[in-house]
């Protein structure tokens, strides 16, 4: 028995040594890799504290819109009454009652339409910023807070040109608020974070970087949008876009998509422009913008060469409207605006937001 035991010990020693050597080499390989991954992870932002500090001031907005009365639609043209429709196959019922029906649906057959979006509180007495398209046409607006309270809100005012709306929570007091930053300090490549309710999933957090600044979209000439790659989907509209300091720098508003969902390109309203709209709506109930009275077009390479410019830049005046401030100032078709009140006009799309931000009655130099 002792001899057998000694033989086993003798056989086991080399195996133990081999195992120790193998583990040693494995550690030599994995430790540097782990340290490299740890160093790489240290360069990535940690959003946890930012989310914890700001989620309370982000709200979910749900709206209810009552169906139009039968007299205002085409329902009276329906060739069947409700009882006759119920005797038809389901396919035909859907055809005549559906929202895409050429007959406008069945009288009394439409249910209230509900929609959802996001927003954020900018004052402790309950002012909330969101998108105009979130609350447009709504008969009832309910704001749900992070603590699950649901409070009614009234619509203070809207500005469809910038897709902005201002709400006031009724019955709210000493509410949590966001910290407002400065969108003009943003830089391309900077990390940003969104909090919202995509598809109704409350307080969803998504992150990305600023992809571009000063984007002009065909539908919104007065807004120099912030372009990001932050995932934005239906329900995120109106929610805040934060920088790493926990300050709101934009309002998530639109996406570019061919599928109906997020495709890596989203747009936010700069908070500088949004707060200007908010203050005007809060104080005056409406928004006024500067107006120049010109039609402009882009300066391409050929036009730049013909006008003696070293490179394409500025906004080419294509037409001056009669009686406009531009006409009184002496602008003529064929002029190129290169600077407006000390700001360079690089693209023609730069000019409308500059003019729009100018208070009515103020003198601007070009």
> What residues act catalytically?
133, 163, 237
CB 233 within 8 A of CB 206: no
Stated length of the chain: 366
DSSP-based three-state secondary structure for 103: coil
**Sign of the torsion angle spanned by Cα atoms 79, 85, 89, 90:** positive
User: Are the C-beta atoms of residues 335 and 294 closer than 8 Å to each other?
Assistant: no
Distance of CA 116 to the CA centre of its chain: 14
Q: How far apart are CA 299 and CA 339, in angstroms?
A: 14
Q: Which of 192, 276, 269 is nearest to 230 (CA)?
A: 192
Which residues fall within 8 angstroms of residue 257, CB to CB, at 6 or more apart?
263, 265
Residues 86-110 as b or e (16 or more Cβ within 10 Å = b): eeeeeeebeebbeeebebbbbbebb
> In angstroms, rounded to a whole number, what is the distance separating the alpha carbons of residues 104 and 100?
7
209 backbone dihedrals φ, ψ, rounded to 5° = -125, 165
């Amino acid at each position: 028995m002792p001899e057998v035991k000694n033989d086993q010990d003798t056989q086991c020693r080399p195996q133990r040594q081999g195992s120790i050597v193998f583990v040693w080499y494995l550690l030599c390989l994995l430790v540097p890799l782990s340290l490299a991954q740890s160093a790489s992870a240290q360069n990535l932002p940690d959003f946890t504290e930012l989310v914890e500090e700001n989620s309370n001031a982000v709200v979910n907005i749900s709206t209810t819109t009552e169906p139009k009365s039968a007299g205002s639609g085409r329902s009276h043209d329906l060739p069947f009454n409700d009882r006759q429709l119920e005797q038809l196959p389901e396919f035909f019922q859907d055809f005549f009652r559906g929202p895409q029906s050429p007959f406008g649906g069945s009288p009394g057959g439409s249910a209230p339409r509900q929609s959802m979006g996001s927003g954020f509180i900018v004052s402790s007495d309950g002012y909330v910023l969101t998108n105009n398209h979130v609350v447009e046409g709504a008969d009832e607006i309910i704001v749900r807070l992070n603590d699950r309270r649901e409070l009614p809100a009234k619509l203070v005012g809207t500005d469809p040109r910038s897709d902005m709306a201002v709400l006031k929570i009724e019955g709210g007091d000493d509410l949590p608020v966001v910290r407002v930053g400065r969108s003009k300090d943003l830089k391309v490549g900077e990390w940003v974070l969104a909090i919202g309710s995509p598809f109704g999933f409350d307080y969803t957090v998504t992150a990305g970087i600023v992809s571009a600044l000063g984007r002009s979209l065909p539908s919104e000439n007065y807004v120099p949008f912030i372009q990001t790659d932050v995932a934005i989907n239906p329900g995120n509209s109106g929610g805040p876009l934060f920088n790493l300091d926990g300050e709101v720098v934009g309002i998530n508003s639109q996406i570019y998509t061919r599928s109906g969902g997020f495709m890596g390109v989203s747009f936010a309203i700069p908070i500088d422009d949004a707060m200007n709209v908010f203050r005007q709506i809060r104080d005056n109930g409406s928004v006024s913008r500067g107006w120049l009275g010109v039609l402009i077009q882009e300066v391409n390479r050929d036009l730049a060469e013909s006008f003696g410019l070293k490179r394409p830049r500025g906004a080419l005046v294509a037409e001056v409207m009669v009686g406009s401030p531009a006409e009184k100032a002496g602008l003529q078709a064929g002029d190129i605006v290169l600077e407006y009140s000390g700001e360079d006009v690089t693209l023609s799309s730069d000019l409308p937001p500059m003019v729009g931000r100018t208070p009515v009655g103020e003198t601007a130099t070009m």
